[in-house]
Structure 1
Amino acid sequence: MKRTITYVVITAFGLITSCKRDFLERDPYGVLDETDYFKTDGAGLKLVTGCYQPMQDGWGYTVNKVAIGDESVDNADAGGSDPGDRPQTTEVGRGRPLSSNPLLFETWSNRYRGIGKCNIALDALKREGSNLVENGAPLPSEALARYFAEIKFLRAWYYFDLITVFKEVPLLVAVEDPSTRKGKASIEELRNQLYIDLDEAIAEPNFPRSSELPDNETGRATKDAAYTLKARAALFFAGLMEQGKMEGDALGEYLIAKEMAGEVVNNGQLQLLPDFQDLFRGDYQVGPFSKECIFGVLRKFDPAFGLAGDPFAIMNVGRNNVGGWGGNTPTRDLAAAYDPADPRKMFTIISHNDIFKTSSGGEEIHNYRGYFNDYNLQQSRKAFVPQAYRQQNDLQRSNWQPYWIRYSEVLLIYAEAIIRTGGNHAEALNYLNEVRHRAYVTTSKVDEPAIYRLFATGLKAIDEATFASRYAIKTSDDILQAIKKERRFELALEGFRLYDLIRWGEYANTMKAFHQKYGFADKGRDASENSWPFPIPQIEIDRSNGVLVQNSNY
């Protein structure tokens, strides 16, 4: 027995030592080097798709963006199970967040992940564009040009998110060595780069308009999204210039906003859905595919393909029997701002004791007591998916999706830019009242999946004559103030409120007044002219070895 074992061991040792050297040095199976990867079918489109990936991060992007944009100001509170559930949002809402705030760090890391993916993709497409293959054939030059435009739009998108929160951040437009440390670029430098990216995307003939996008490409960026982002950014920069917070010509920026929004309105072949309910009913079968949705993130629960629902649709829905986690609770102030005759109030805010149909034909009475919502007793209708539109009644198993650019916003940008540039008031009113007409006249007065809605009380049909006499804004009204209010009514809980308050120079006064009137969770207690820009995450300053410095107001 002993001799047999010895023989086997010796033989095995001989086999090992007699192997050729190249056997041990073979590349592992299933691994491609970069050059070979770019020769695989669809590699270019995969690079582009990767640039969208940070927006698919429900926590790091969707929940984060609305928390920053609405829950940090007067539209909504953080909500959650108790005050310790989302303290990072509550802290920003007080008006003096720490540089260790997790919500701000989440914003920074998610958007820079997107910028990094865009830089990597642009670099790779420049080097390997001629090797790319699509559907078994060389990638057409027109498709490659579209990829470049699409990625530049996305890079500008991520940068603008950072600008609205931090104002000045490091500018990275190429693949950098990991050891590189960069300080902040000026707001003027960031504006210039943002416009370079957007102008190049807009100028690309192969970057399609929204009206040219085939159904199977719904969700991809278009020229109209680039026009709108530039208009949105121009309004923001103009506001900062007027307040002396950056150098430049405010009127020139308003003219840019007017030109960009006008291009979408006059040549985009877009339109509002007649019924506001179609955007937020909960089925997401109409709104995302309509001519109103210019840019969004399509979501579909399909476990066979590893597709999950957005956590926004459970995080920001009522707790208790409803099954959500109770975040994003609309404030009393937001509810009080609406005209009771405006059905958008009902399609934006759900009240405690509202009743919705269950999938089995029963009643779901919304109970908002017993968690960090006892003060407001309200939840977002824009986040809620009724049972009929979920799989197995699971809030995480739905097709809920955010709208990041809607045509109604473009109409309001255009109206505001016309007024700001001394244009014709009657023309501006056409666009403002187009949004209001949809709200008051053609929008449903009944929430279809519901049995009882408090804010449906008193809603009634409004004819054209009544709208013209009572609800249309007129040349004798304060049109700019009406536009500001309309933006809140139309876009509430979609992530726009902080952006508006900062650019209008109204953040400090609004939040101090909010604290004085309500006082809940100390929101607005520490708000001042030095609250914004918010602090750069301390961890990023530490990683930079002091190259990156904190904002001077912190």
Structure 2
Amino acid sequence: MTMKSISHIVLGAAILTIAAAGCSKGFLERAPQSSLQEEALTNKKGVNTLLIGAYGALDGQDFNDGNMTDLAGGSGYGVSPDNWIYGSVAGGDAHKGSDPGDVAAALQIVTFQANASNSFFNDKWRVNFEGIRRCNFTLHVLANVQDMTPDEKKQVAGEARFLRAHYYSDLKKMFDKVPWADENAADYKNLHVDDFKIPNDKDVWPMIEADFKFAMDNLSEAKGEIGRANKWAAAAYLAKTYLYQKKYAEAAPILESVINNGVTGKGLHFDLMENFHDNFDAFTENNKEAVFSIQYSANDGSGGTGNANQGQMLNYPYNGPFSCCGFYQPSQDLVNSFRTSATGLPYLDDYNDHGVVSDLGKSSDQPFTPDEGFLDPRLDWTVGRRGIPFLDWGLHPGRDWIRNQNSAGPYSALKNVYMQVNQDKYYDGNGWAPGNAINYVLIRFADVLLMAAECQANLGNYAKAGEYINRVRTRAGNPAGFVKTYIDPEDPMGGTTGTPAANYRVSPYPLSMFTGKDFTMKAIRFERKLELAMEGHRFFDLVRWGIAQTELNKYFRFEVQIASDITGGNFAPRNNYYPIPQRQIDLSVKNGKSVLTQNTGY
């Protein structure tokens, strides 16, 4: 059985037993019949099953049904590991979409008007701590296992600590002040993270670093089962942890090792895929660009949609061939960023002065000609826009696929959409909204290259930074990866021509331009915006660069002219981090005083 098919397995008997135990104090005082005891897990098979459960928490959805909402509840879309709400919409990549009143709590978050009582924050907090609890329990049991070799134990420990560091990284960049609990904490086995009485008064970056460092030093180089972490995934994540702390000298050599070595000679060497869209197609996933991915599957016989990507369930075009729901609409600001000049380079400073023509205000039966100027081809693998092939679903019809143009603009999300040609394998319609088998690539090689470029720029190696940026741009400019016109627009699955669907032009920068830090960093920041658009990174990048207030308020001033849903949006210094959930502060009371403290300004 591969990791792809088992990554969402949880210890059913054990979890149900612990869940029942959480229902009443009296139940805690007696051993339940037919329960799975810890002793039964203290062996090689048991601890590996626990580890799989720790992987299974990556999607945040395992306890997301009506029977388990008190454990780590919340909607799949609200806790999605790709952070489409917290990272992309809040970062200006997109609008919430749909109608303003539909999931209004999310709109409060992305206009920075949410307070600590917003339930989305509590849901996100709880699902990450559920992942941490599973990792800690795995490590606790592992310590007493007798039928494993030391090397086998190191492998399991490395994977568990990798996963724990991932969950903590997500919490750290979201909330900053989070309590640290490892397998040695007194409360490590509590199912309800509400029961933790641990203060959030310490910086957890050093502990996250230690976990990733242990994983890098102890995990095997080979990829092994699909979905498992290896040495190089841990190395890339450790380097990213350093990058968030501006430890460029520490991050740079690790990123160089990932770029230059990967696992050469062991079946994989990381590189960019020739076709940009291969990173967002279930048929071509787990490829050489995927450093670490959260695995999803559809129609796999497991029942329901538990293994499908439910985090993106709302984010398909409204009407048409999709059942839900018109959320996650790319912004005009993002679309304009893909404009290029005759030289194939972007307009770094004044891209909104070179706007891309849209069908805003036009019905689908009114004539419309798509923009005929120069564009970066990544635009049409990222954004669905009228008159351009929308994968193999046909030409995007414009307003007929948009729920509310005035509220959220004229565009549709695209990277999360499955192909029509193989939807029998990769689309899961068992739930109330679409699920699919498209993995979320948590770290891909393009991200590694751009992180390496950022380190080199901050270390004064500007030409080297330019080389890494240009590797990414050269792939983008490969005509083999352009969106092409249909042979027959009435039969979009009938194949494509060799003709580009728009006037694509993208070129590498002349290396002579990389002579100072200001320009080099500006190019890196813009390239990350283009390459990683709609992948949940933008807000967190802006914050760590220290430019979130400037860039997001500029975004609000421009974008409110296009779409009304962000009216009143304003970013203040406190918004660098989201508020600690009030529910958690209230539940942390010890001796009459809350152990958890709120972030400044909330």
> Which interval holds the TM-score relative to the shorter structure?
0.7 to 0.9
**How does the TM-score come out when normalised to structure 2?**
0.75
Q: With structure 1 as the length reference, what TM-score do the two structures score?
A: 0.81
Which residue is 1:230 aligned to? 238
1:152 aligns with 2:161: yes
Cα 1:92–1:449 change in 2 (3 A) is farther
Aligned to 2:440: 402
CA distance in 2, matches of 1:274, 1:160: 30
Residue 52 of structure 1 is aligned with which of 51, 55, 72? Answer: 55
1:202 paired with 2:216, answer: yes
Distance 2:248 2:535 in 1: 23
- How far apart, in 1, do the equivalents of 2:156 and 2:388 lie? 47
Q: How far did residue 326 of structure 1 move? A: 1.4
Q: 1:12-161 counterparts in 2 under 5 A?
A: 30-39=34-43, 42-56=45-59, 57=61, 58-59=76-77, 61-62=79-80, 65-80=83-98, 82-127=99-144, 129-130=145-146, 138-161=147-170
Match of 1:348?
382
**One-letter code aligned to 2:51:** V
Note closer, same or farther for the CA distance 1:199–1:512 as it changes in structure 2 (3 Å cut): same
- Give the distance between the partners of 1:449 and 1:202, measured in 2 at CA: 46
Q: Which residue of 2 aligns with 1:548?
A: 596
The Cα shift of 1:473 comes to 7.9
Q: Residues of 2 paired with 1:98 and 1:455: CA distance?
A: 46
In the other structure, the counterpart of 1:304 is 301
How far the C-alpha of 1:356 sits from its partner, in A, is 4.6
Quote the sequence identity (%).
26
Aligned-partner SS, 1:341: coil
Instruction: Give, in whole Å, the separation in 2 of the partners of 1:523 and 1:186.
Output: 37
Q: Equivalent residue for 2:251?
A: 257
Q: Which residue of 2 aligns with 1:18?
A: none
Post-superposition offset of 1:83: 1.3
Distance 1:449 1:391, change over 3 A: farther
CA 1:92–1:472: 2 relative to 1, 3 Å? farther
Find runs of 4+ consecutive structure 1 residues off by over 6 angstroms: 452-455, 470-473
1:60 CA displacement:
5.2
Residues 421-450 of structure 1, C-alpha deviation per residue, up to 9 Å, x if partnerless?
122x22222211001100012552225889
| Counterpart among 341, 358, 369 of residue 402 in structure 2 | 369
Where in structure 2 are the equivalents of 1:273-422 lying within 5 Å?
273-280=273-280, 282=281, 284-286=282-284, 288-306=285-303, 308-323=307-322, 324-339=324-339, 340-352=374-386, 354-356=388-390, 365=397, 367-371=400-404, 375-391=408-424, 396=434, 398-422=436-460
- Is the contact between residue 574 and residue 600 of structure 2 (CA under 8 Å) also seen in structure 1? no
After superposition, the Cα gap between the structure-2 partners of 1:473 and 1:155, relative to the gap in structure 1 and judged at 3 Å, is farther
CA contact (8 A) 1:309 1:399 kept: yes
What per-residue deviation string (whole Å, max 9, x for no partner) do you get for residues 310-353 of structure 1?
12443111111232211211100000011343111110000145
C-alpha separation between the residues in 1 aligned to 2:308 and 2:559?
Answer: 35
TM-superposed CA distance for 1:373, in Å, is: 6.7
Check conservation: 2:77, 2:313, Cα contact below 8 A.
no
Q: Secondary structure at the match of 1:346?
A: helix
- For 1:455 and 1:316, the matched residues in 2 are separated by 26
- For residues 28 and 125 of structure 1, do their structure 2 counterparts lie closer, same or farther at Cα, with a shift above 3 Å needed? same
| Counterpart for residue 481 of structure 2 | 444
Q: Is the 8 A contact 2:485 2:501 kept in 1?
A: no
CA RMSD of aligned residues (A): 2.9
Distance 1:139 1:61, change over 3 A: farther
Counterpart-to-counterpart distance in 1, 2:148 and 2:315: 43
In structure 1, the residue matched to 2:549 is 508
- Asked if 2 retains the 8 angstrom alpha-carbon contact of 1:64 and 1:106, the reply is no
Q: How many residues align?
A: 485
- Aligned twin of 1:456: 501
**1:12 corresponds to:** none
Q: 1:143 to 1:538 in 2, by over 3 A?
A: same
Q: How many angstroms does 1:148 deviate by? A: 0.1
8 Å CA contact 1:111, 1:158 repeated in 2:
yes
Does the 8 A contact of 2:82 with 2:536 survive in 1? no
CA apart distance, 1:59: 3.3
Structure number, greater radius of gyration: 1
Deviations 1:435-477 (A, max 9, x none): 11000125522258894899932136x7xxxx45x77783258
| Aligned residue type for 1:509 | T
Partner of 2:574: 530
Residue deviations 1:234-279 (CA, integer Å, cap 9, x gap): 22122xxxxxxxxxxxxxx111121221121122131111111222
Residue 176 of structure 1: aligned partner: 186
> What is the Cα deviation at residue 186 of structure 1?
2.5
**Distance between the aligned counterparts of 1:431 and 1:159, measured in 2?**
29
Letter in 2 for 1:318: P
Cα distance change on mapping 1:472 and 1:298 into 2, 3 Å: farther
Cα distance in 1, alignment partners of residues 48 and 120 from structure 2: 31
Instruction: From the superposition, tell whether residues 315 and 122 of structure 1 become closer, same or farther in structure 2 (CA, over 3 Å).
Output: same
**1:139-180 Cα shifts (integer Å, max 9, x gaps):** 343222101001111111111111111111111113533555
Q: Give the counterpart of 2:464 among 427, 432, 439.
A: 427
Alignment partner, residue 13 of structure 2: none
Counterpart secondary structure, 1:296: strand
User: 1:35-60 CA deviation, whole Å, 9 max, x = no partner?
Assistant: 13334x72121111111122132435
- Higher share of residues assigned helix: 1
Single out whichever of 290-299 and 383-392 deviates more from structure 2: 383-392
Question: One-letter code of the match for 2:135?
Answer: C
Contact 1:293/1:405 (<8 A) preserved: yes
2:314 touches 2:326 (CA, 8 Å); kept in 1?
yes
Cα separation, 1, equivalents of 2:392 and 2:108: 36
Q: Is the 8 A contact 1:62 1:402 kept in 2?
A: no
**CA distance in structure 2 between the partners assigned to 1:101 and 1:499 by the alignment:** 20
The residue type equivalent to 1:548 in the other structure is: L
Query: Partner letter of residue 497 of structure 1?
Result: R
Give the letter for the 2:52 counterpart.
T
Equivalent pair of 1:95/1:523 in contact (CA under 8 Å): no
Q: Give the deviation of 1:75 after TM superposition.
A: 0.6
Task: Mark the CA change 1:518 to 1:356 in structure 2 (over 3 Å): closer, same or farther.
Answer: closer
Equivalent in the alignment of 2:260: 266
Shift, 1:116, TM fit: 1.1
Q: How far apart are the structure 2 equivalents of 1:65 and 1:473?
A: 37
Residue deviations 1:496-552 (CA, integer Å, cap 9, x gap)? 001110011111111211222222323672311222222111000000011111112
Quote how far apart the aligned CAs of 1:415 are.
0.8
CA contact (8 A) 1:298 1:401 kept: yes
| Paired position in structure 1 for 2:559 | 518
